[in-house]
């Protein structure tokens, strides 16, 4: 055997007779012995290329992996879909066989509807309150608020700390008098007697709806006739050399309109700071100045000598007296909050032949 022959005595095979493996090995050695332009050996370059290939293979393998959480989510959706399908199939089967089958549906959100107020509350008037603002706050009409608090004569005049009764619905709050019956009350306020009996707060027995004198009951949907507010044009003697109005009115003070002209507020309120000057809207003469018992507090009335009068209410001070002749722009007093007022503002009325007119139609 060849193993028994010494190495130096073994025959030498010429290089041109070696097999392809020898030539391949010689080529590899030749490549490894070469150097690149940067002085690096092909071995380093091949190693870097090999690393890039390995990284690319790893990224590809990781991207094909499916995480367990994804499988669980898919399994849950599959189970939910299967359960819904089975529930629907059970419901259809129950309907087909005549058996009742209740399937509980998932309701993620609960909508709580607005429930109407069913009780009578008391509101304490605060600074800045107006009749219409309070009515809007509690979802009732200004008339309902006026009727429940006996404000027909001066519906627009409030005072701080005043307590107002607020009904839960639009209507009239009636105090039972002698000889009153449910039928007579319903007829008075133009509603059906059944509406008065059925209203829960009244606590009336449908079979025997008896009433007690002094008892207060709610008449839902009831109405009252409007009370016309009476004013009088000045008819006294006209002062000598009294100024006459031009018919072109100007704003009496600066500020924000806090309440406009409305059926229950036949004037405009101009909110301003206490002490702001109040000027005559047109020329004329003073027919009244001082304190008013009707809720205006300190007020001034100017007759313009052409059928128009203007009234300036809630003044903290006034500087004119009855009989004074004044020109347009004369300072009559200062903005205040006297009388029935919820904050400093000017209550401004404009009357034509004794009838209150909307000042917006006459001011620039």
Would the pLDDT of 41 be above 70? no
Of 39 and 177, the structure prediction assigns the larger pLDDT to 177
CATH number of the domain located at residue range(s) 256-361 in this protein: 2.70.70.10
Highest mean pLDDT among 70-84, 87-101, 341-355: 341-355
Q: What percent of the chain shows pLDDT beyond 90?
A: 49
pTM beyond 0.75: the answer is no
Would the pLDDT of 9 be above 80? no
Q: Which of these ranges, 68-77, 162-171, 172-181, has the smallest mean pLDDT? A: 68-77
Would the pLDDT of 91 be above 50? no
Highest mean pLDDT among 19-28, 153-162, 239-248, 353-362: 353-362
Report the distance separating Cα 234 and Cα 277, nearest Å. Answer: 25
Q: Which of these ranges, 160-164, 237-241, 244-248, 341-345, has the smallest mean pLDDT? A: 237-241
pLDDT digits (tens, 9 = 90+) for 220-229: 999 998 776 6
Domain 121-220 shares a fold with domain 256-361: no
- Residue 155 confidence (pLDDT): 72
Q: What are the structural domain ranges in the chain?
A: 2-54, 121-220, 256-361
Mean pLDDT value across residues 41-66: 73
Would the pLDDT of 73 be above 60? no
pLDDT digits (tens, 9 = 90+) for 274-293: 999 999 999 999 999 999 88
Would the pLDDT of 197 be above 60? yes
Question: Average pLDDT of the chain?
Answer: 81
| pLDDT tier, 57 (very low <50, low <70, confident <90, very high otherwise) | confident
| SS3 per residue for the chain | CHHHCCHHHCCCCCHHHCCHHHHHHHHHHHHHHCCCCCCCCHHHHHHHHHHHHHHHHHHHHHHCCCCHHHHHHHHHHHHHHHHHHHHHHHHHHHHHHCCCCCCCCCCCCCCCCCCCCCCCEEEECCCCCCHHHHHHHHCCCHHHHHHHCCCCCCCCCCCCCCEEEECCCCEEEEECCCCCCHHHHHHHCCCCHHHHHHCHHHCCCCCCCCCCCCCEEEEECCCCCCCCCCCCCCCCCCCCCCCCCCCCCCCCCCCEEEECCECCECCEEEECCCCCEEECCCCEEEEEEEEECCCCEEEEEEECCCCEEEEEEEEEEECCCCCCEECCCCEEEEEECCCCCCCCEEEEEEEECCEEECHHHCCC
Would the pLDDT of 2 be above 50? no
- Residue 306 confidence (pLDDT): 92
| pLDDT tier, 96 (very low <50, low <70, confident <90, very high otherwise) | very low
- Residue 50 confidence (pLDDT): 76
Q: Where on the phi/psi map is residue 150: left (φ > 0), alpha (ψ -120 to 50), or beta? A: left
- Residue 1 confidence (pLDDT): 44
**Residues 6 or more apart whose Cβ sits within 8 Å of residue 30:** none
Mean pLDDT value across residues 64-78: 55
Superfamily of domain 121-220: LysM domain (3.10.350.10)
- The residue written with tokens 């070469």 in the block is 34
Report the distance separating Cα 176 and Cα 162, nearest Å. Answer: 24
pLDDT digits (tens, 9 = 90+) for 295-352: 899 999 999 999 999 999 999 999 999 989 999 999 999 999 998 888 899 999 999 9
């Amino acid at each position: 055997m060849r193993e028994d022959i010494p190495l130096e005595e073994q025959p030498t095979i010429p290089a041109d007779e070696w097999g392809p493996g020898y030539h391949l090995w010689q080529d590899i050695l030749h490549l490894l012995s070469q150097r690149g332009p940067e002085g690096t050996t092909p071995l380093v370059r091949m190693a870097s290329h090999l690393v890039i290939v390995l990284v690319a293979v790893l990224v590809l393998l990781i991207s094909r992996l499916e995480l367990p959480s994804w499988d669980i989510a898919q399994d849950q959706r599959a189970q939910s879909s299967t359960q819904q399908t089975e529930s629907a199939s059970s419901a259809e089967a129950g309907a087909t066989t005549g058996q009742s089958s209740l399937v509980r549906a998932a309701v993620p959100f609960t909508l709580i509807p607005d429930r109407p107020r069913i009780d009578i509350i008391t509101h304490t008037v605060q600074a800045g309150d107006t009749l219409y603002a309070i009515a809007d706050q509690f979802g009732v009409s200004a008339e309902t608020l006026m009727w429940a608090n006996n404000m027909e004569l001066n519906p627009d005049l409030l005072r701080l700390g005043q307590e107002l009764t607020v009904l839960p619905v639009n209507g009239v709050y009636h105090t039972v008098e002698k000889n009153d019956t449910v039928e007579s009350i319903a007829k008075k306020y133009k509603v059906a007697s059944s509406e008065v009996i059925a209203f829960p707060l009244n606590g009336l027995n449908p079979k025997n709806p008896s009433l007690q004198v002094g008892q207060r009951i709610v008449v839902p949907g009831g109405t009252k006739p409007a009370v016309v507010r009476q004013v009088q044009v000045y008819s006294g003697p006209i002062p000598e050399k009294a100024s006459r109005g031009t018919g072109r009115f100007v704003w009496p003070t600066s500020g924000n309109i806090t309440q406009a002209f409305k059926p229950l507020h036949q004037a405009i309120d101009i909110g301003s700071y206490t002490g702001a000057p109040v000027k005559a809207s047109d020329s004329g003469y003073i027919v009244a100045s001082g304190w008013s018992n009707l809720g205006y507090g300190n007020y001034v009335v100017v007759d313009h000598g052409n059928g128009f009068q203007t009234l300036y209410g809630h003044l903290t001070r006034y500087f004119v007296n009855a009989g004074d002749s004044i020109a347009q722009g004369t300072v009559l007093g200062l903005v205040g909050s006297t009388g029935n007022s919820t904050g400093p503002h000017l209550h401004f009325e404009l009357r034509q032949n004794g009838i209150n007119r909307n000042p917006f139609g006459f001011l620039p």
